[in-house]
Homo-oligomer: A and B are copies of this chain.
Amino acid sequence: MASPTNLKQLSAHLGLSQTTVSRALNGFPEVSEKTRQRVFEAAKHYNYSPDSKAKRLATGRSMTIGHLVPISNEHEMVNPVFADFISGASARYAESGYDLLLSLVADHEEISAYTRMASRSNVDGVVVHAPKINDHRIKLLNSLDLPFVVHGRSSGVKEDYNWVDVNNERSFFAATEHLINLGHRQLALINGLPDMDFAMRRSAGFQRALNAHGIAANDFTITSGEMTEPYGYESTQLLLQSDTPPTAILASSIIVANGVRRAITNAGLTLGQDISVLAHDDDLSYFRNDGDTPEFTVIRSSVREAGRLTADLLLSSIENQNTEKKGILLEAEFVQGNST
């Protein structure tokens, strides 16, 4: 007999009904331990596992989580932070048998992408990446009745929603204060794109610290841009050429900080001496900034951990049918390095 390839054949082969085999495999109590063993062995021997397409249709659950990653219209960039975030989330999904569906979607296609995903019901829930201020996706998803968790938050949004975020305002406040306490009076923040919620919060924390210490508006600068290495480089170059160059720079990511360092050393200055740099550190695996005395002083928060927590929150809200929304706020850790 050819190796049984589906439930029908397998159960015929075993002299059992499909019901019994299905129940045996899915751990139902209505089947004796003896036959369960027999079923398991046969399944293993013939390398059988239930067709996921059929299983999903029968159960009505697609057992997959969608990650809809927005693509910047112009530059088609995928933030490398994303790789580490996914890696955290993926581990959690695997535990519960969920698949991870990745979809890169251009800004102007977002609404249709989410709506289609909901009406075709090929995901049980989604993760919202890179929320903007007043992000319309949240309202949309609530109205679509599709469970979701936002990685970050969106100020201005009235509705309740699940989110996992790092306390950007607070950590950038603390970081700025740290620099001020070191004696710096000319500061610059090299920030992300201004419509991003996290960038807004960082900028708010930055300015709150400046206000608290009475630093005037013409003694600091804030730049905005996609957080690439060249962006860090070019912004710093411009800052250094200004009439009142900053003595301390806050970088919105380690990658940006790499560009900042390049500009500083290219200008013949010494990092941590002529000019201080403090960065936000997502603890990216390809840019570890650790050791006894790390290169950069940072405020660190593992984005991989955020990924794991996001996945966890999403799965539990799906499986417990929670209507109650939850927010998880992570606190970044201050790490003294050589750059301040």
Contact = CB atoms under 8 A, between A and B. Distances in A.
A258 interface: yes
Contact of A285 (B48, B64, B78, B94): B78
Interface stretch (A25-33, A119-127, A146-154): A119-127
B53 A228 contact: no
Interface in A220-279: 227-230, 255, 258, 261-262, 265
A307 to B, nearest CB: 10
A121 B53 contact: yes
A57 interface: yes
Interface size class for chain A?
35 or more
A227 B285 CA distance: 10
Contact of A52 (B62, B229, B261, B304): B62
Contacts of A82: 83
Given A120-B49, A120-B52, A122-B53, A100 B102 contact: yes
Interface in A23-48: 47-48
Contacts of A80: 80, 83, 284, 286
A314 to B, nearest CB: 16
A286 B229 contact: yes
B71 A62 contact: no
A322 interface: no
A332 to B, nearest CB: 20
A154 to B, nearest CB: 23
B116 A49 contact: yes
A101 interface: yes
B119 A48 contact: yes
14 contacts: A48-B119, A51-B57, A53-B121, A64-B101, A77-B87, A77-B286, A78-B83, A80-B83, A80-B286, A86-B102, A90-B102, A227-B286, A228-B286, A229-B288
